[in-house]
A = this chain, B = another copy of it.
Amino acid sequence: MQTLSINNKQKLQLSPLNIPERLLLGPGPSNAHPTVLQAMNTRPVGHLDPAFLATMDEIQSLLRYVWQTENQMTIAVSGTGTAAMEATIANAVEPGDVVLVGVAGYFGNRLVDMAGRYGAEVKTINKPWGQVFTIEEIRQAVKTHRPAILALVHAETSTGARQPLAGVGKLCREFGCLLLVDTVTSLGGLPIFLDEWGVDLAYSCSQKGLSCSPGASPFTMSQRAMKKLQQRKTKVANWYLDINLLGKYWGKERVYHHTAPINLYYGLREALRLLAEEGIENSWQRHQQNVDYLWERLEELGLTMHVERHFRLPTLTTVRIPEGVDGKAIARKLLDEYGIEIGGGLGELAGKVWRIGLMGFNSRRESVDRLVDALKKVLP
């Protein structure tokens, strides 16, 4: 049949997958809930199968519930959280738009880079990593730069800081700009009231507070943001993430756009189902109680948290690496000897902190105990 000969140089002879068991207490992914993995194990059906379309509708409703929004355009993007982040930028930004970004960590910087690629005139306000912006600082910056879009990170995964959002939406309406918010490390783990807060665009991921596997990522857009999209003079510069096209697949038209990651949607549906069963307010409370316990136990070990208590995330804690301790070596020891993953610092905090996550299914007292017991053994 073929006339050319086969090159077998890259043909590895492999055994079936053999992956070690890990307790994932880093910045994410977190361990998926066992029944989520079970749901993902279901045989795929077609992306236009009536049974699959019903699953998509359920995902939409439950995402609205966990985000506390009534936004019609609430979907899961077929990629990881970064893709959902890019979807908000790609659809909201038109070339020449002024985009004001609050930068106090790695993900603020990423928003700057992305918005620039979509032709935005980017302005920033900055704070040291681990701090947050006051409403007065935000008002002053909006007044100065008059942006079309204000982008803030609710839960900065690189620092463990929680940016308060109450009042920001009202301010954005006063100045006629859209409010875009990163909720990657907050969704499911701490209070979010998107509609009450007046957030216009938000994105998240599946593998943290939702206890799912990564790859299908929450995205939502308000009517105000939809209006800006409809009035665009240029096409969205990203075909895969164009909400004009995606909306026709998730909406009543059911027009083929791309083949959805079927099995991940099965998992996401199950993850959201479990969260609704628990009650979102109970999940928030559980995360806070378990992180309070973590902070207490870490302080007993003589460790210090990087972020001021009032602004700490319940999902992700940055812990200062004590003077003279090799942070990387400790993390590697935890992984190799105890099967526990924690994260290192990024950017300004590289080498200065560990990042410890208690997210979704992993936000349990036993996770804290297992980590602290291991830390006691590996710390000098």
Interface residues of A, Cβ cutoff 8 Å to B: 1-2, 4, 6-14, 16-17, 19-22, 24, 26, 28-29, 31-32, 35, 37-47, 49, 51-52, 55, 58, 61-62, 64-65, 68, 70, 78-83, 86, 110, 113-114, 116-118, 191, 193, 195-196, 205, 207, 213-216, 235-240, 256-264, 266, 269-270, 273, 276, 279-281, 284-285, 288, 335, 341, 346
Contact = CB atoms under 8 A, between A and B. Distances in A.
A214 B261 contact: yes
B4 A239 contact: no
Contact of A10 (B1, B62, B279): B62
A44 B62 contact: no
Nearest to A46: B341
A11 B65 contact: yes
B8 A65 contact: yes
A110 to B, nearest CB: 7
A5 to B, nearest CB: 9
9 contacts: A1-B284, A6-B281, A7-B195, A10-B62, A24-B45, A82-B239, A82-B257, A83-B240, A213-B261
Contact of A62 (B12, B20, B270): B12
A204 to B, nearest CB: 12
B281 A341 contact: no
Given A7-B195, A24-B44, A117-B238, 19 more contacts: A1-B191, A2-B284, A10-B70, A12-B61, A14-B269, A16-B35, A16-B273, A17-B39, A22-B45, A28-B259, A31-B43, A38-B41, A79-B79, A79-B240, A207-B262, A214-B261, A215-B261, A256-B346, A264-B264
A82 B245 CA distance: 13
Interface of A is mostly: loop
Given A4-B193, A110-B239, A259-B29, A43 B14 contact: no
A263 B155 CA distance: 25
A136 to B, nearest CB: 21
Given A215-B263, A238-B238, A6 B68 contact: yes
B83 A17 contact: no
Contact of A236 (B7, B31, B117): B117
Contacts of A215: 78, 215-216, 261-264
Contact of A270 (B17, B193, B238, B270): B17
Contact of A41 (B10, B40, B276, B335): B40
A199 to B, nearest CB: 13
Contact of A258 (B12, B46, B81, B191): B81
Pairs A-B, 7 closest by C-beta atoms: A215-B261, A82-B258, A10-B64, A2-B191, A10-B65, A79-B79, A213-B263
Contacts of A280: 6, 11
Contact of A17 (B42, B261, B285): B42
B61 A44 contact: no
B12 A276 contact: yes
Contact of A239 (B11, B43, B113, B335): B113
Contacts of A29: 44, 46-47, 259, 262
A284 to B, nearest CB: 6
Contact of A42 (B19, B62, B238, B273): B19
